[in-house]
Amino acid sequence: MLGIGEKHELPTVFLIDDDLVSREVIATVLTLHGHLVHTAETGSDALQMLGSGAVTPGVVLMDAQLPGLKGTELIEKLREGCEAEIILISGSRPGDELVGAADGFLLKPFGPQDLAKELGQHKPKTKAVVEDLDPVINPETLAQFRQLMTEATIREIYSAVVSDLHKRQDVLERAIAEGNSEEVRRLGHAIKGGCGMAGAMQAARIGSIFESKSDQLDNCATALKDLYTATQRLERMLEKEFPA
């Protein structure tokens, strides 16, 4: 991870490139211009880092010709793990299908100004944050809780999660209205961590959006509505699974 003198208003960059020279040069140039940069050599390495929470990117720069997991398959899996813009990078233009699956394309060599110009030019091709088919609670987490705790104790845990979400929603709404991106980022990180531990999947995913998109307050306002919905679904699940 490189982050010398990073400027917090700039998006965190996750660079996936198997070429050592390209990777080091791009990372160094972007870092010197204020970006926090994480790097991965392969698509599999990148997915592992995302899954572990080691990186929460605002933009993914993905080489178009990676070994192993690559192309549209990798883009699809990246979208499942983060809400970042995905921009292809290559020394030559990739095929139309691959370009169409990403959010943008940069021809190597490129500089920070080229990246800044490309960012935000395309609406990220992401799925809806909250979908009816998404589980409100990770079934594996719930099963583990039921092996270790009484139903009453589990209800207390999820009641505390719901109560905490209501409190954080009020604070988030004020922070977004005031343009306080640092507070939005802090709250998003807390929601992602706490709800993630409890297996509240929808809320945890939305928390990661607040954390990674805190400098994009329009997106955060939309995510706040999604968080209200996720909290309501969690409340309904609580009433159904653990009646008082």
Distance CA 99, CA 137 (A): 35
| Together in a domain, 228 and 156 | yes
Domain of residue 186 covers 139-241
CB atoms within 10 A of CB 146: 12
Per-residue model confidence (pLDDT) at position 132: 47
Q: Is residue 6 part of a domain?
A: no
Q: Is residue 2 part of a domain?
A: no
Q: What angle do CA 9, 12, 16 make, to 5 degrees?
A: 155
Of all residues in the chain, the percent with pLDDT exceeding 70 is 89
| Together in a domain, 155 and 218 | yes
Average pLDDT over residues 192-216: 88
Structure tokens at 19: 């070429």
What are φ and ψ of residue 120, in 5° steps?
80, -5
One-letter amino acid identity for 22? Answer: S
Structure tokens at 97: 């299908």
| Together in a domain, 164 and 71 | no
CA count, 13 A, side-chain hemisphere, 72 = 9
Residue 93, domain CATH:
3.40.50.2300
Instruction: Show Cβ contacts of residue 135 under 8 Å, excluding neighbours closer than 6 positions.
Output: 201
Least confident of 72-86, 128-142, 144-158, 223-237: 128-142
Please give the distance of CA 107 from its chain centroid, rounded to a whole number: 25
Q: Count how many domains the chain has.
A: 2
Write the CA distances from 205 to 120, 148, 155, integer angstroms: 21, 25, 22
Per-residue model confidence (pLDDT) at position 119: 67
Residue 61 pairs in a beta bridge with 15, 87
pLDDT tens by residue, 97-116: 888 888 888 888 877 778 77
**Residue 126: band (very low, low, confident or very high) from pLDDT cuts 50, 70, 90:** very low
- The side-by-side arrangement of strands in the sheet containing 59-63 is 37-40, 13-16, 59-63, 85-90, 104-107
pLDDT tens by residue, 6-65: 444 678 889 999 999 888 888 888 888 888 899 999 999 999 998 888 888 888 999 998
